[in-house]
Structure 1
Amino acid sequence: MSEVLNHEQIKKKITRMAYEIYERNLNSKAIVFAGISGMGKTLAHLLASELKAISPLIIEQTEVIIDKAHLATEEVQLTSAIDLQGKTLILVDDVLNTGKTLVYAMKPFLDEELYRMEIAVLVNRSHGLFPIRPDYTGFELSTTLNEHIKVDFSGEKFSAYLH
């Protein structure tokens, strides 16, 4: 197992991503961060906190509850009902592997009258089996399909490992 991002690098990536989100969404009515359960939820919270610190934008958050082992058979749910009319939705996950999880995570938002939907990931592994491309990426890393990235936001030090 080798570390690909340490705590300081991850913090810098989150700050840079927050500035990019702010720059691209100056005219948005509000931004809703929808973090995919697990590390995606944590990354969404970190991005929302950073964006609140640097901008006057209205920011809301929800969690996308999804069973990654049973994507096609389990219902995708949100932890809170949020009015999305005319707002920018940013779907957040820690790692983009094939795009399959993000495709299924979009389900609850497809019938909404969003202003725009964007995707933010900390690590993009570039194995696009589904037509998903992130709008905001912290780190691009080409890996084999047998390798895995583990992002850890628990504790005081963040890290991302390749194994």
Structure 2
Amino acid sequence: MSEVLNHKQVGQKVTRMTFEIYERNLNSAGVVFAGITGMGMTLANLLAAELKKISPMKVEVVEVILDKKAVSKSEVELSQSLELSKKTIILVDDVLNTGKTLVYAMKPFLDQEIHKMEIAVLVNRSHGLFPVRPDYTGFELATTLSEHIRVDFSENKYSVYLH
């Protein structure tokens, strides 16, 4: 297993992504980070905290609850109900593999009158099975299908590993 990004580098990627999000959403009524269960939710909280530091925008976080191991059979729901009208939804996950999880995670937002939906991932592996492309990417990493990416958001020691 080899470290691809260390703590400092992950922090830099999150900061850069946050500034991009702010720049592209200046005219939005607010930003809702929708973190996918697990590391996606952790990344959503990190992005939201950074955006609150640099912007006066209304920033909210909601969890998209689903079973990543059986996403097509899983119920997909939000951890709470929020007013989403005219807000930007940023769907957040740690790693984009095929896009299947992100496609299913969009379901709760399909009948909402949102301003727009964007996607943020820390690592994009570019194995596009579904036509899903992130708007914000921390790191592009070409890998084989047999390789695995592990994101670790342990307290005060963030890192990304390839194995």
Same fold? TM cut 0.5? yes
User: Residues 114-149 of structure 1, C-alpha deviation per residue, up to 9 Å, x if partnerless?
Assistant: 100000000000000000000000000000001010
Letter in 1 for 2:15: T
Q: Could you list the structure 1 runs, at least 4 aligned residues long, displaced by more than 2 angstroms after superposition.
A: none
User: Residues 47-90 of structure 1, C-alpha deviation per residue, up to 9 Å, x if partnerless?
Assistant: 00000000111001100011011111111011110111110000
Letter in 2 for 1:155: E
User: Residues 31-59 of structure 1, C-alpha deviation per residue, up to 9 Å, x if partnerless?
Assistant: 00000010000000000000000011100
The RMSD of aligned alpha carbons is 0.5
Q: How does 1:70-85 map to 2 (within 5 A)?
A: 70-85=70-85
Stretch deviating more after TM superposition (16-25 or 149-158): 149-158
Q: Name the structure 2 match of 1:127.
A: 127
Letter in 1 for 2:116: R
Letter in 1 for 2:24: R
Letter in 2 for 1:90: I
Q: Name the structure 2 match of 1:110.
A: 110
Q: Which runs of 5+ in 2 are unaligned?
A: none
Letter in 1 for 2:124: N
User: Residues 82-102 of structure 1, C-alpha deviation per residue, up to 9 Å, x if partnerless?
Assistant: 111110000000000000000
Q: How far apart, in 2, do the equivalents of 1:85 and 1:66 lie?
A: 23
Stretch deviating more after TM superposition (16-25 or 147-156): 147-156
Q: How far apart, in 1, do the equivalents of 2:42 and 2:35 lie?
A: 7
Q: Which runs of 5+ in 1 are unaligned?
A: none
Q: How far apart, in 1, do the equivalents of 2:129 and 2:53 lie?
A: 36
Q: Name the structure 2 match of 1:12.
A: 12
Shift of 1:155: 2.1
Residue-pair matches, total: 163
Q: How does 1:31-70 map to 2 (within 5 A)?
A: 31-70=31-70
Q: Name the structure 1 match of 2:137.
A: 137
Q: Name the structure 2 match of 1:91.
A: 91
SS of residue in 2 equivalent to 1:151: strand
